[in-house]
Structure 1
Amino acid sequence: MRGWRKHARHLRAGLVLLAASSLVLTACSTGGDQSGEQEIGPEEKKSSEYPGYLANSELTTVNAGSAFGTASVASQLSGRLYPGAFVSGPTGQLVPNSDLVTTHEWMDGDQRNVLYTVTEDATYSDGTPVTCDDFLLAYTAGQMQEMFGSNMPLMEQVESVACAPENKKFLVKFQPGQGGQWRSMFGPGTVMPAHKIAERAEMSREELVNALYSQDPNQLGRVAEIWRFAFGLDHFIPEMHVSYGPFALDSVGEQGEVLLKRNDNYYGDPALIDNLVIWPIHSDVSEVTQQDNLLVADAAVSEPKWFDKETMGDNFEIEDVVGDLTDSLIFSDSGVFEQQWARQAFAACIDQEEIAKVSSEASGVEVPAVYTHAVNHNDPLARTLASVTKEHQETDMDKAGQLAGMTIRIGYLGEDERLQAMVDSIRQQCEPAGITVEEVTGGNVSAAFLEMDPETWLPSIDAFLGPINSRSQYGVNAPSLARVDELRDEERQLWEDLPGLPLSAEPHTFFISPQLANAVPYTGSTGIGWNMDRWYVQDAPESAESSTSEG
């Protein structure tokens, strides 16, 4: 059993119950008719009439703690609906979100303790206070990843969470020697409204907390189902979407676009813009651009299909950026990759330099190959790991040949020509070693497909391809120059265990209208919308000094 993905095998009975009950949820939550011309919002305006942001995300759910939410980069949408306990600044630094919680950290020997205090003013948009129940729910979902379909690896480093129902304080104790990246826990879009889940499950808050503490699949089947599916946008359930950030979700349009409105119950500085429509990555935004309402876009390619350079070249400031996140393969620890040697053999036929070249050609943005797990590729400490990563920068076809005759299924979310090109490259590289690589894609593919199917005892895919934040994915102790030898040891161990394989940096191209003030490019999980509550539309461009302030 590997520490970064603790499988709770005893949950399989609960998974069968969950699969059956999810059918009931879907049948009961189809929402409104999303066909034809749809007008959204309180004034019955068309989506294209609001200020627009075209996200580099499918916009499938607001639950960024779910595996599906991670795959679809839900935090681009939910970052200012459910802000994290710490929020990312434009250079990736983690800043305490003192509007939501304050924290106090101390060590008891080698065991880290963190006391969280939710602020008295912190409330949801329906007026319900934010309490430790919400954080206990996130912790339990992260611990029981098979049942909840979650992807919050840092939760596996937690030993216990002490929370009394509806209390504003709670204590997190970590496993000895763990928790160095605790500030990345309870990140954007991962703390969901426990009171709404309790209501839908027909439980009291006390009953919910007791069930969460029990981690009993028989008590948590309905809770896990609601947490996993009820915050999806395909079958929009309005009453579930209460938020504690500066924005609240108003409605969902026919292309899956999401109308945000200012959260009037927000306890911090109010959003500067009344409404904002966030469009999914594959939206037809022609009507939005015709009305000059597309104010910002985060694209995975330098020339997206919606952009006409001849007619729109003067409408945007355009910037190609090498992203903070790393496109990586995350391996299943079931099936063909259950054994460490198999993961290492597959990695031996993959040339990261070639993958980076393919990604660069497909995106139009030059991105580097990546070999580090312990820190993000652009962290200054990454260069201190060169002595460890150098030995993994060459392919070894003899070693890869240990998997000859095997079929490896690589999955990724949706339709993505760049990711498809990367998988094709891996297929071509590994074919001489006798390895067959198959592509698995679709609108619901996520890291949850890496879990063992309780009926077949095999995963649906063997590896998932997508961008990851090394800080939250692998959870090494906080890196620093003072402990660089320990950091090298952790990197060496990650290459030995190989829970995932870094490939190349994620490319981004930002399109920013001069009408939009305070938009600052950021390529972490929340994207350029990290400070969207500070955005506002101006009649004429302001000076460079004012346009980069956070507000």
Structure 2
Amino acid sequence: MRRGTIRLITVLATAAVTTSVVAGCSTKNQVPSIGYAVDAAVTTYNGASTLGASSGTGAVFGRVLTGFFYTGPDGQQVADTDVGTAKEVPGETQTVQYRLNPDGVYSDGVQTSCDDLVLAWMARSGKHTRTGERGQVPMFDAASTLGYDEIERIDCQPGSKDATVVFRPGKHYLPWRTLFAAAEMMPAHVVAKAVGVPDVVNALQGGDGALITRIADFWNTGWTLAPGALDLARFPSSGPYRLESFSARDGVVLVANDKWWGDAPETKRIVVWPRGTDYAAKSKENALGVIDLGAGSVADLKLDGFDARTVAGRGAEQLVLASDGVFSRVEVRRAFAQCVPRQALFDTLGKAGEPPTHGLGASVLNSRVVQQDSLYYPAVVSGAERYRGADIPAATATLASSGTAQPTVRIGYRSPDARRAQTVSMIAESCRGAGITVLDAGAPDFSPVRLPEGAVDAVLAGTGAAPGPAGSSAGVAAFAALRPGSGLDFGGFANGRYDAITDQLAGEANSTTTLNLLTEAENLLWAQVPSIPLFATPRTIAFGHGMQNGIAGPTQAGTGWNMDRWVLQR
């Protein structure tokens, strides 16, 4: 089914970059290993955790840890019927029946089961908390609880292939296809073994707080990745590839999973070169077959021997602001937004080739939660008018009204990144005129957790604070990043009305009501300024000459969304 889906997307996806195919060329041989350069930061196997979602785990392990759905190249959710089927059951209460493929088995020989769904739900429901420094905090460090917190129960016999997911009465979660997705459904049997229980279903539902704490601790940190020796027993695969090794010298090595029950991958070995790699050197060494990087992020990258194109991504390049420290007063946040040269940043750094007259990448991005090619977008962004460009007199006056004199703003991002360094430089030059000093706090080991820690005042990144591929049509990460209790809310923004709006939007089918709610949400966000959207992140995506089945994926899943279909001939 996935092969057929890829054929269909090849024809229909307007954003796709397809590779040239040389037919009947008997002098070329298939390359046995393809190098894939992507600016995700490999930090964890768990794409559902805050660390995984904010570092880009899904762009690396989407074909290693599969789910009922995956993010397609246009940002849409696509059913992965190799994994199983999911369908809504008619009735007054929203109910979804999940059925895993009878042949589904992890690379370690353990059958896939509904235990994995129960673990995903419990980890992301927000129902398990513990006492923290500022009161109750979630036990599980989940990137988002959206959708999962609407589930009342999952009917699952441990080890079964069937699960019935029942939502709370009166609730209807429209984007339910974003649940139990690729890179986010973790192997429950690994957790069970680590904490010493027969299965996690009974352990999680039994109410033993100490046991649930141990499960949460493993879910949070047990799949952390760092270059070096790995205990591969903790990292079984449910997809066409499995993780073989990870080192600074050899990258993230993925090899064909011989337990995979679907179509075997066309190329048996993929080497992922994540953020921190010297991409220019790898390109010169002829070690790369596919490149998916932020446009302009690598100053000396040569693309000789590649079919390359820069496209507008689904991720929103943005500044995420702290809600305390220098930005504790909303007037300072507004003054900063007024001095940020958004139009100049788009003109200089945000264009993906010649911009279209409308749609994705057409102009400065004026929304945090609505895609530019959405029919709602033109009507919901009126609140951005006062922040269209660098208005230094207005910024100076707003700052004066705040009672804050000559503030200093430290902007952090994952370096090296030439485009983001230039972004900070342009902001610093512009805001200097308003009496705001801007410092470049980029670092190779930067993480967005430095924002709540107080080490920086703003984060420059994509949707969900991801350093590389980001964004989807559903926009779950974008909504979650502005809700308290969400792991992705690094700035600490909290607004009850915004929460109520997004709760209603999740189940709202009426287009007029949706438009009104989205307009209110964006007006509220432009009034409070928890973040400053800049532009749809431009991505440079390139395929080596001789590549077949390469289709650009400027989304949170990255261009590796169909890496199991790649064929490179040289």
TM-score above 0.5:
yes
Quote the residue 1:158 is aligned against. 150
- Alpha-carbon offset, residue 77 of structure 1: 0.6
Structure 2 residue matching 1:378: 3-state secondary structure: coil
From 541, 559, 562, the counterpart of 1:510: 541
Does the 8 Å contact 2:34/2:290 carry over to 1? no
Quote the residue 1:489 is aligned against. 517
Q: Evaluate the alpha carbon distance shift between residue 400 and residue 96 of structure 1 in structure 2; reply closer, same or farther with a 3 A threshold.
A: farther
The superposition leaves residues 34-93 of structure 1 with CA deviations (integer Å, 9 ceiling, x where unpaired) of xxxxxxxxxxxxxx9832111222333332223332332221111111234322333333
- In 2, the alpha carbon distance for the partners of 1:341 and 1:214 equals 46
* 2:45 is the counterpart of 1:62: yes
Does the 8 Å contact 1:404/1:435 carry over to 2? no
The superposition leaves residues 374-429 of structure 1 with CA deviations (integer Å, 9 ceiling, x where unpaired) of 32223344234344544553654233442724554433234323223323333444
Q: Evaluate the alpha carbon distance shift between residue 217 and residue 166 of structure 1 in structure 2; reply closer, same or farther with a 3 A threshold.
A: same
- In 2, the alpha carbon distance for the partners of 1:399 and 1:289 equals 48
Does the 8 Å contact 2:321/2:458 carry over to 1? yes
From 252, 275, 280, the counterpart of 1:258: 252
Does the 8 Å contact 1:72/1:413 carry over to 2? no
The superposition leaves residues 11-40 of structure 1 with CA deviations (integer Å, 9 ceiling, x where unpaired) of xxxxxxxxxxxxxxxxxxxxxxxxxxxxxx
Q: Evaluate the alpha carbon distance shift between residue 482 and residue 179 of structure 1 in structure 2; reply closer, same or farther with a 3 A threshold.
A: closer
- In 2, the alpha carbon distance for the partners of 1:147 and 1:181 equals 25
Paired residue total: 479
Question: Bigger shift: 252-261 or 320-329?
Answer: 252-261
Aligned residue runs from structure 1 range 10-159, under 5 A? 50-105=33-88, 112-144=94-126, 147-155=139-147, 157-159=149-151
TM-score, normalisation: structure 2:
0.73
- In 2, the alpha carbon distance for the partners of 1:392 and 1:104 equals 44
Task: Give the letter aligned to residue 416 of structure 1.
Answer: D
- In 1, the alpha carbon distance for the partners of 2:240 and 2:308 equals 27
Q: Evaluate the alpha carbon distance shift between residue 105 and residue 408 of structure 1 in structure 2; reply closer, same or farther with a 3 A threshold.
A: farther
- Alpha-carbon offset, residue 354 of structure 1: 2.9
Structure 1 residue matching 2:146: 3-state secondary structure: helix
Task: Give the letter aligned to residue 317 of structure 2.
Answer: D
Quote the residue 2:365 is aligned against. 370
Does the 8 Å contact 1:55/1:297 carry over to 2? yes
- In 1, the alpha carbon distance for the partners of 2:297 and 2:308 equals 10
Q: Evaluate the alpha carbon distance shift between residue 334 and residue 98 of structure 1 in structure 2; reply closer, same or farther with a 3 A threshold.
A: farther
- Alpha-carbon offset, residue 113 of structure 1: 4.2
Q: Evaluate the alpha carbon distance shift between residue 320 and residue 217 of structure 1 in structure 2; reply closer, same or farther with a 3 A threshold.
A: farther
- Alpha-carbon offset, residue 261 of structure 1: 0.9
- In 1, the alpha carbon distance for the partners of 2:194 and 2:245 equals 20
Structure 2 residue matching 1:264: 3-state secondary structure: coil
Does the 8 Å contact 2:298/2:417 carry over to 1? no
Q: Evaluate the alpha carbon distance shift between residue 432 and residue 308 of structure 1 in structure 2; reply closer, same or farther with a 3 A threshold.
A: closer
Task: Give the letter aligned to residue 82 of structure 1.
Answer: L
Does the 8 Å contact 1:522/1:528 carry over to 2? yes
Structure 2 residue matching 1:294: 3-state secondary structure: coil
Task: Give the letter aligned to residue 477 of structure 2.
Answer: Q
Question: Bigger shift: 48-57 or 180-189?
Answer: 48-57
- Alpha-carbon offset, residue 120 of structure 1: 2.6
Does the 8 Å contact 1:249/1:258 carry over to 2? yes
Aligned residue runs from structure 1 range 524-543, under 5 A? 524-539=555-570
Aligned residue runs from structure 1 range 455-466, under 5 A? 459-466=454-461
- Alpha-carbon offset, residue 536 of structure 1: 1.5
- In 2, the alpha carbon distance for the partners of 1:209 and 1:411 equals 43
- In 2, the alpha carbon distance for the partners of 1:240 and 1:537 equals 31
- Alpha-carbon offset, residue 307 of structure 1: 3.8
Structure 2 residue matching 1:442: 3-state secondary structure: coil
- In 2, the alpha carbon distance for the partners of 1:345 and 1:106 equals 51
- In 1, the alpha carbon distance for the partners of 2:449 and 2:119 equals 19
Does the 8 Å contact 2:297/2:420 carry over to 1? no
Task: Give the letter aligned to residue 473 of structure 1.
Answer: A
* 2:372 is the counterpart of 1:356: no
* 2:213 is the counterpart of 1:220: yes
Aligned residue runs from structure 1 range 222-261, under 5 A? 223-235=216-228, 236-255=230-249, 257-261=251-255
- In 2, the alpha carbon distance for the partners of 1:411 and 1:214 equals 41
Does the 8 Å contact 1:371/1:503 carry over to 2? yes
Question: Bigger shift: 190-199 or 149-158?
Answer: 149-158
- Alpha-carbon offset, residue 150 of structure 1: 3.2
Structure 1 residue matching 2:82: 3-state secondary structure: coil
Quote the residue 1:16 is aligned against. none
- Alpha-carbon offset, residue 520 of structure 1: 0.8
Does the 8 Å contact 1:373/1:494 carry over to 2? yes
Structure 2 residue matching 1:507: 3-state secondary structure: strand
Task: Give the letter aligned to residue 90 of structure 1.
Answer: P
Q: Evaluate the alpha carbon distance shift between residue 342 and residue 139 of structure 1 in structure 2; reply closer, same or farther with a 3 A threshold.
A: farther
Structure 2 residue matching 1:139: 3-state secondary structure: helix
Task: Give the letter aligned to residue 176 of structure 2.
Answer: W
Aligned residue runs from structure 1 range 260-409, under 5 A? 260-284=254-278, 289=283, 292-301=286-295, 304=298, 307-308=301-302, 312=304, 315-332=305-322, 343-344=333-334, 346-360=336-350, 368-387=363-382, 389-390=384-385, 392-393=387-388, 396-397=394-395, 398-401=397-400, 402=402, 404-405=404-405, 406-409=407-410
Quote the residue 1:549 is aligned against. none
* 2:396 is the counterpart of 1:420: no
- In 1, the alpha carbon distance for the partners of 2:409 and 2:549 equals 45
Kindly indicate whether structure 1 or structure 2 has the higher relative contact order, using CA contacts under 8 Å at least 6 residues apart.
2
Quote the residue 1:188 is aligned against. 182
- Alpha-carbon offset, residue 530 of structure 1: 1.0
- In 1, the alpha carbon distance for the partners of 2:448 and 2:97 equals 31
Structure 2 residue matching 1:355: 3-state secondary structure: helix
Does the 8 Å contact 1:122/1:267 carry over to 2? yes
Task: Give the letter aligned to residue 117 of structure 1.
Answer: R
Task: Give the letter aligned to residue 378 of structure 2.
Answer: R
Task: Give the letter aligned to residue 372 of structure 1.
Answer: S
Q: Evaluate the alpha carbon distance shift between residue 430 and residue 184 of structure 1 in structure 2; reply closer, same or farther with a 3 A threshold.
A: farther
Q: Evaluate the alpha carbon distance shift between residue 429 and residue 289 of structure 1 in structure 2; reply closer, same or farther with a 3 A threshold.
A: closer
- In 1, the alpha carbon distance for the partners of 2:77 and 2:558 equals 14
- Alpha-carbon offset, residue 323 of structure 1: 1.4
Q: Evaluate the alpha carbon distance shift between residue 479 and residue 306 of structure 1 in structure 2; reply closer, same or farther with a 3 A threshold.
A: farther
- In 1, the alpha carbon distance for the partners of 2:208 and 2:385 equals 43
TM-score, normalisation: structure 1:
0.75
- Alpha-carbon offset, residue 245 of structure 1: 1.2
How large is the Cα RMSD of the aligned pairs? 3.7
- Alpha-carbon offset, residue 132 of structure 1: 2.9
